[in-house]
Structure formats: C-alpha cells, structure tokens
Amino acid sequence: MSDQVLKVVVRKREEQGDGVVVLDLADPLGQPLPAFEAGAHVDVHLKPGLVRQYSLCGDPAQPLAYRLGVLKDPASRGGSLAVHELLLEGREIEISAPRNHFPLAPDARRSILIGGGIGITPMVAMAYALNARDSDFELHYCARSRSRSAFLEELGNAAFAPRLHTHFDDEADAQKLDLAKVLGSPQAGVHVYVCGPAGFMDWVIAQAIAQGYADDHVHREYFQIDVDASGAGFEVHAARSGKTVQVAEGQSIVEALGAVGIKVEISCEQGVCGTCLCDVLEGEPDHRDVYLTDEEKQANDQILVCCSRAKSKKLVLDI
C-alpha cells in the first residue's frame, strides 16, 4: 500500500442530481497525476482526523484530473458533509495516491457492471476502461429516479452509451432491472461487478451466486456498511508493546487499545478500507468487515480492528 500523499486542488465542482457533488481534483501546477486503474479509490484528507475513501469515476485515460462523485448522506458521520461543505473550487487538499481493491479481471470475456445509486461511480471508470480496450460489457445504472441521478448526461454522451441501461424505481416496470435475466446462466469468462448500498449489493451477489456464478467472478465494492458492534467482551494482547486490554461489549479493539496509548491508524471505521489491518498471532477473530475475502477470513491470520471482534476469549495481535 502506497503512503504517497498528493496535494491537489478542486479544479471544478458541479452539483448533479439530488445531493451529489462531482469534483475534479487536479495538480495545482497542471501536471499529470499518477495513473490509475478503473475501480481505484483515493483517501481524501478532509480535515485532521477525518479521512474518507472515494472511488475515482473519471476516464483512466485522462490523467489530468481525478473525478469524484460524493452523495450528501444525511446519516454521514462527517465525511460526505465535509466534502459538500469544504471542497469548494480552488480549495487545496491532500489525497493518497490511487489504490485499487476493485480491479477489473484482466482475462474477462464479458463484464456486467451494476451500480446502485452513487455506487455508479467506480462503474463509470470501468466502462471507460472496458470501452478503451474494446472489451464486451454492459452497464446497468439503478436509481430511485432520473431527476435525482448524477452522471446521466456524461454517460448518455459517452462512446459506450449504447451499452448503458438505466433502471429507475419510479418509472415503468418494463425498464426495471430484471436481474435474473441480465445475469443469465454463467458463461466462461463472464464477470459481474457491483457497487451500491449494502442491501442492493447483497441482493445482486446472492442472485449471482444462486444462478451459479463463482464467488470470485462476482466483484464487489462496499462503500457503506452498518457495523455490527454487538457481542461479548474479550481480551487483546498487543504483542509488540506487551500491553493487554479488555475490549468491552460495544467497544471496538481500536478504542480499547487507544485507552492504553496504543494508536492504530484508522480511516473508514467501517471495515471497508483496510487501513487498520493487523496480523493475528493467536486466537480466532470474529470478522465483521467487508474488506477481507472469504478465504482471507477463513485463514484467521488478519483482522480489521476498527470493527471486528473475537470468537476466542483472547486475541494476540502483532501490534
């Protein structure tokens, strides 16, 4: 993971749809930014202690700006509200170099991209990339209503517009997403990509698996989850410092460690970004994140300490 920090300026800001701000971030001197792949995100340093991840939704072939689309979320814990309030045109901010936890499969014969609401953002970059490599794909954009949706004009004018299928909750049934039909029976080399609200993603993933898709052909990017913090307390031993703490019911491992002076770098605090990943030396984690794959979770040798807990009475962490 690169720790490179980039200083960028908000070159352009545009309100689109209902509550979405689309930002173009550029080098202050107009130099090209580091290249990014479709599916990548950047960490945006909004203010001290507030770092949030946003997918890059521009064309990866255009390195002069990184485009973000951020929905103002009334349930925001500060991130999206800060974007809307602070990131005005001309504002300089720091971001990380792009990181990609949601890459396109290089060997895909066909790709089915499904974005729900603001989950369309990584799909836009994917559509540009697939179109540039002349790869077969279709893009499905599901949203509550046409008037509330961002990116419609851009997508409608894009070279890949004929591959775009929109599905609005408040329009005729005939245009609604027939997920079973879109997925069809799995064919060799067909990959599915989904991003959106957790319930929407769970629906798409469950349907794809039910129709026979292999788990590793159903690619997913969660941007918001409800962290389940319930469960009994347990003990954590931090091997490097030699300190042991009790993690109370409802308390996170990060909070418990922080109380004895052990600071863990965190960002999303929702098990999404991977910033707080630690190695597990002993004990069995109770994984509550959406960052690790099922296989990684089964290995039980890593844990995201912002949200996950323990099945065993004690965890020993390499921290």
Give contact residues for ligand FES (rule: CB under 6 A): 266-269, 271-276, 289, 291, 304, 306
* Cβ proximity to ligand FES, 96 vs 275, nearer residue: 275
* Cβ proximity to ligand FES, 147 vs 293, nearer residue: 293
* Cβ proximity to ligand FES, 27 vs 289, nearer residue: 289
**H or E element at residue 175:** none
Q: How far apart are CA 230 and CA 215, in angstroms?
A: 28
Residue number closest to ligand FES, CB atom? 306
Could you tell me the smallest distance in angstroms from the CB atom of residue 276 to ligand FES? 3
Tell me how crowded residue 91 is: count the other CB atoms within 10 A of its CB.
13
* Cβ proximity to ligand FES, 27 vs 43, nearer residue: 43
Could you tell me the smallest distance in angstroms from the CB atom of residue 56 to ligand FES? 18
* Cβ proximity to ligand FES, 75 vs 188, nearer residue: 75
Could you tell me the smallest distance in angstroms from the CB atom of residue 264 to ligand FES? 8
Q: Residue 63: name the closest of 23, 26, 116 by CA.
A: 26
Could you tell me the smallest distance in angstroms from the CB atom of residue 186 to ligand FES? 30
Q: Residue 19: name the closest of 157, 198, 190, 147 by CA.
A: 147
DSSP 103: P
Could you tell me the smallest distance in angstroms from the CB atom of residue 296 to ligand FES? 13
Q: Residue 59: name the closest of 114, 161, 136, 132 by CA.
A: 132
